[in-house]
Amino acid sequence: MQIWMWLLAAGILLVVEMLTVDLLFASLAFSALLAAGAHWLGYGVVVQGVVFGFGAAGSLLFLRPIALRHLKKKSADQATNVEALIGATAVALSVVTQNQGMVKLNGETWSARSNSGEIKDGVQVEVIAIKGATAIIKQKG
C-alpha cells in the first residue's frame, strides 16, 4: 500500500473515533500510522500488513485497557449532584425531627429529617441520604 493510503485510513479511523469515543478506532488509527512508518522505511506490503496487525493487536490488548481505566477513573472528590452531598456536614437551622426540619447544607437551606430522634437547632449534622429535596441527617459525633 502507498503511504497516503495508510495516512488516509488513519485519518478516517480518527474521525470515526471522535464520533464513538471508545478508543477502538484510535487504536486502529495508531496501527495504520505504524504501517505508514513501515512503508516510509521501505518495507513491502506484507511487512506493512504484519506491522498493522501486530500494532492493532498490541494496542487493543495492552494500551486501550490502560487508557480506558485512566479515562473512566472517578475519585471521591469528583462526586456530583446528590453523591457530593452524602457525608457532607450541615448545620441544623431549626429543631429537626423524623418528620421535619431545616438545615444549612453547602450554603443552601434544605428541608431535613432526622434518621433517629430529635436534633436541636445549631447542631452540626452529617447528611446520610437525600430523598427528593430532603436531606436525611444524623447528629455528628
Mean pLDDT computed over 124-137: 93
CATH number (domain holding residue 98)? 2.40.50.140
**pTM across the whole model:** 0.52
Q: Say which residue the cell 441544623 belongs to.
A: 92
Residues 65 and 91 in one domain: no
pLDDT tens, position by position, 14-48: 999 999 888 889 999 999 999 999 999 999 999 99
Residues 20 and 43 in one domain: yes
Mean pLDDT computed over 108-132: 92
Residue 76 included in any domain: no
Mean pLDDT computed over 86-99: 93
> Which range of residues forms the domain containing residue 106?
82-139
Residues 47 and 18 in one domain: yes
Domain final residue pick, 34, 51, 71: 71
Residues 120 and 92 in one domain: yes
Q: What backbone phi and psi angles, to 5 degrees, belong to 19?
A: -80, -30
Could you tell me the three cell numbers for 36?
505508514
Chain mean pLDDT for the chain? 90
Residues 67 and 90 in one domain: no
Question: Confidence class of residue 74 from pLDDT cuts 50, 70 and 90?
Answer: low
pLDDT tens, position by position, 99-116: 999 999 988 999 999 998
Residue 50 included in any domain: yes
Residues 64 and 91 in one domain: no
Number of structural domains, the chain? 2
Query: Among 5-19, 50-64, 71-85, where is mean pLDDT lowest?
Result: 71-85
Q: Which long-range contacts (CB under 8 A, 24 or more apart) does 137-140 make?
A: 137/90, 137/92, 137/96, 137/103, 137/112, 137/113, 138/114, 139/114, 140/89
Residues 59 and 16 in one domain: yes
Residue 77 included in any domain: no
